[in-house]
Amino acid sequence: MVPRGKEKSGKERILDSHVHLDFIERYRPHRIEWLKEAGCAVVSWAYCEGADSVSRLEACLKSKGNCIKRHAQAGLACHYLAGVHPRSIPPDLEPGQIGPLLHFSLEDPLCKGIGEIGLEKGDSKEELKRIISMGSDRMDRIMCNTDSGDRFYEDVVQLSRDNDLPEAARKKLFYGNGARFFSLSY
């Protein structure tokens, strides 16, 4: 039997610390098996499409939790974060409703905390090697991820195998830092 999070060939474990597993399931379902085969564990973040009411948001959050449970039971090393993404705030949401909306998720052992609660800025630059070269004191604070969802990116797996990066750096960037931050061990 292959340990969860390890691929059969014995290559290093990889943790993609920001995906949207429910979107991958919907738009790229064949990639779920690819993640398992690549030895890639994932942390799925909260984002709800069409959250036009509190009841729709609540149903979406529960659906996301159920998606993670399904895939964890099927052998994918996965966890999730609950939250109200800035683009998912329904017009009838009152601040006092957020705690009760997230309460059920935060009691789930597969939920590692609250995520997607602030503004974001996507950046397409490939600057990892430059950032690493600027100083090793930053190395412990970087988690590499893809933000895969309706689109699927293989960047994390490809870069984790890039021999231009020192092996110790690869272990931290593509698994160790994320595993430490989310208190995970696969």
For residue 3, pLDDT beyond 80: no
**What is the rounded CA–CA span in Å between residue 1 and residue 118?**
40
- Mean pLDDT for 145-171 is 88
pLDDT band at 6 (very low <50, low <70, confident <90, very high): very low
For residue 135, pLDDT beyond 50: yes
Q: Which of 4-8, 34-38, 43-47 has the lowest mean pLDDT?
A: 4-8
**What is the rounded CA–CA span in Å between residue 80 and residue 31?**
18
**What is the rounded CA–CA span in Å between residue 145 and residue 173?**
9
Give the predicted TM-score (pTM) of the model: 0.79
Both tokens assigned to 172:
């931290």
